[in-house]
Structure 1
Amino acid sequence: MPFKKLIESLKAALTQNGITKPKPLQKAILSKIKGGHSLFVIAPNDSGKTTSIVISIINKLKNAFEDAPRALIFVKDKQAALDLSDLFNTYKKGTDLRVYCAYDEHNIELQREEIYLGTDIVIATPKRLNKIFYLNGINLNKLQMFVIEDAEFLFRNNNFADVSRTPESIERCQYLIFSNKFDTRFERWQDSFMSNAQIIDIT
């Protein structure tokens, strides 16, 4: 999908940051994501995976709407959450989309209250998201996009199990998993909530 099909504010932000044409990975996946497909995206570092996440979510959500989040992104740690939030803030100019980071090194009651006040995009570590959810601190009923950035971290510290529990509370959603390789453990998700997902592999 060429960038000319993106919303105007996003195209302008990309151009201002020196991005005028999609990378090969983005050509392969952006139109599929826009079309609502669930994907396992397998690609090497520096191929544009993280930027693809940001572009796709901004282009789909467009502007703030109600209070419950419509996109949830799992990341490995606090720094990854903050880095991704910075990238969203760079490219969401011209929209009023609200981005919130939930990670372990922060007061959980405060995070719960701040999410309750309203956000469109939540970037979270698995364990902190689960804790907030079980405190009834986040409503996943409006979720449209469930994303995992750099999924290799899932296979440490029980993160895979933590993330696997989340779809049990989601009725209908688009799932996007970004990774350097397809791990056989992803087959469990293919047998459950990602049964219709496509695998896009450009390694």
Structure 2
Amino acid sequence: MSKFAEVNLNKQLRNAIDDLGFEKQTPIQEETFSKILGGKDLVGIAQTGTGKTIAYCLPLLQELSYSNQNNPRILILVPTRELVAQVVETLKELTEYIDCRIVGVYGGTNMNTQKIGLQEGADIVVATPGRLYDLALCRALQLKGIKKVVIDEVDVMLDLGFRYQLTNIFELLPNKKQNIMFSATMTEDVSELIDSFFSKPEKVQIALSGTPLDNISQTKYAVPNYYTKENLLANLLADKDEMKKVLVFVSSKKIADSLYEAMSEFYLSELAVIHSNKSQNYRFRSINQYD
């Protein structure tokens, strides 16, 4: 992996990277930087945790020049409100020394507040497809100035049923623009979207979904039933040296609530549960507490 010191970054971005303590590029960052700067459409296949956000944010910011126009020039689409917040935070960290207006918009919150934010002007808009489409329809957001479009975690987006909104958003965008897409998997739906809206894209494949990252070790525990699983988890979490920060993934909201209730007996003040039935404020608060 090459070092960020070897990448052709402007002084402001280099200072931000230094502040963040980043030294080496991940493979997806190394492979996509020059390709995105080249201006061609790009499709990146890489799983979550490989550094995709930095992979597209850095080259986009490297090219972004100052402008006082109100309409955004870069559009980043992600599937969930939590990802909007995460990408906005990353962009703010990278633009610490750059005059750049970043606006995040997503559903489940007051649209009028987001309209006001957009009226004040934006260089980059990070959005979920549904809310972006609603804002475009009511003309609170003009997409005619968009030069770069990023669709991150497009496979998740399509799984969540956003194909209709994505198709309509692309029809509102200018024909002349650079399209950038990242996905963990290359499904038939993803391929159809590429064929419909991308022009001879360059493709970069780092690791298919399901391929373990190099810095992750895996252990399998065979348990006879769900209740044994609860007891095992409680015992594993008791090892404070190994289990300082833990994410537990389950298959349904019902199981998430059940597991939360069971673990609350031992770790109440250290627990939070996140799923779509929880309010936006609760979910954000849980993430902030985890950080």
- Sort the TM-score into its range (normalised by shorter chain): over 0.9
1:59 to partner: Cα distance? 1.2
Match of 1:63 among 60, 66, 69: 66
Secondary structure at the counterpart of residue 192 of structure 1:
helix
SS at match of 1:199: strand
Identity %: 25
Corresponding residue of 1:23: 26
Which has the higher Rg, Structure 1 or Structure 2? 2
Contact 1:190 1:196 in 2 (8 A): no
> Taking CA–CA contacts closer than 8 Å with sequence separation of 6 or more, which of the two structures ends up with the larger relative contact order?
1
Partner of 1:96, secondary structure, is coil
Segments of 5+ residues of structure 1 without an aligned counterpart are none
Aligned residue among 183, 195, 202 for 1:198:
202
Q: Which residue of 2 aligns with 1:180?
A: 184
Dislocated runs of 4+, deviation >4 Å: none
User: Does the 8 Å contact 2:43/2:180 carry over to 1?
Assistant: yes
Q: Higher mean Cα deviation, 164-173 or 92-101?
A: 164-173
| Structure 1 counterpart of 2:113, from 110, 113, 119 | 110
Q: Which residue of 2 aligns with 1:33?
A: 36
CA contact (8 A) 1:153 1:159 kept: no
- For 1:21-77, what per-residue CA distance to the aligned partner results, in whole angstroms no more than 9, with x for missing partners? 322221211000001011110012222111112212211214344111011111122
Partners of 1:148 and 1:178 within 8 A in 2: yes
Which range moves more in the overlay, 128-137 or 149-158?
Answer: 149-158
1:125-167 Cα shifts (integer Å, max 9, x gaps): 1110010000011111110111112223212342122112111
Q: What residue identity is the alignment partner of 1:148?
A: I
How many residue pairs get matched?
Answer: 203
What TM-score comes out, normalization by structure 1 length? Answer: 0.93
Distance 1:192 1:2 in 2: 36
Q: Give the structure 2 partner of residue 85 of structure 1.
A: 88
SS at match of 1:36: coil
Q: Report Cα offsets for 1:70-98 as digits up to 9, x if no partner.
A: 11111122211111111111111111101
CA distance in 2 between counterparts of 1:165 and 1:66 reads 24
